[in-house]
A = this chain, B = another copy of it.
Amino acid sequence: MKKQILVDMDGVLADVYSQFIEWEYKESGTRLKIEELNGKTETEALPSCNKHVRSIGFFRTVPVMPNSFEGLKYLNEKYKVLIVSSATEYPKSLPEKQAWLNEYFPFITWEQMIFCGRKDSIKGDIMIDDHPKNLRTFEGKKYIFSQPHNLFISDEQYERVSDWKEIMFKL
């Protein structure tokens, strides 16, 4: 039987940092450099992020993470994939996230989508997520996907993956 793998959206399939930087630039005229954000939480690094994630269009127009189409297609053939996204904190994101998945990952069906508040009640064998808070409560094998906010977090309970090519190599 195929193992079940939980795949996060923001920071894993969706390149939210590119979107944050773009939206901060439109807001302030200052273009932040990704290196400046390393080691900071999203709220520390991005002055308007709490407003932007609540805005119409933010999640619908977020860029796709490089190589994630091929990577998720690969996982979807090898594993039972569930897309698990924290979404209910930002209610406007719900239909945008589903429409975005349908557009960019059309091989993912509605049966494979979970939009939730917390992820600690979702079963699986493997989890790929960029947030330690989600990995911490998970019982299976844990992969942390590199993003600026988690770069200096090191924990032997996670295995780090830096991009989708590494996911395809390791999984």
Contacts and interface: CB of A to CB of B under 8 A. Distances in A.
Interface of A: 4, 82, 87-89, 91-92, 94-95, 98-99, 102, 109-118, 121-124
User: What are the 9 A-B residue pairs with the smallest beta carbon separation, nearest first?
Assistant: A111-B117, A94-B94, A88-B110, A114-B116, A88-B113, A121-B123, A115-B115, A110-B117, A91-B98
27 contacts: A82-B121, A87-B115, A88-B98, A88-B110, A88-B111, A89-B110, A89-B111, A91-B98, A91-B110, A94-B94, A94-B115, A95-B95, A109-B117, A110-B117, A111-B117, A111-B118, A112-B117, A113-B116, A113-B117, A114-B116, A114-B117, A115-B116, A121-B122, A121-B123, A122-B122, A122-B123, A123-B123
A94 B59 CA distance: 15
Contacts of A114: 114-117, 121
Given A94-B95, A94-B98, A113-B116, 9 more contacts: A82-B121, A88-B98, A91-B102, A92-B95, A94-B94, A111-B117, A113-B117, A115-B115, A123-B123
A79 to B, nearest CB: 13
Given A117-B110, A117-B111, A91 B99 contact: yes
User: Is chain A's binding surface mostly helix, strand, loop or mixed?
Assistant: mixed
A114 to B, nearest CB: 4
A80 to B, nearest CB: 9
A123 B82 CA distance: 15
A115 to B, nearest CB: 5
Contacts of A109: 117
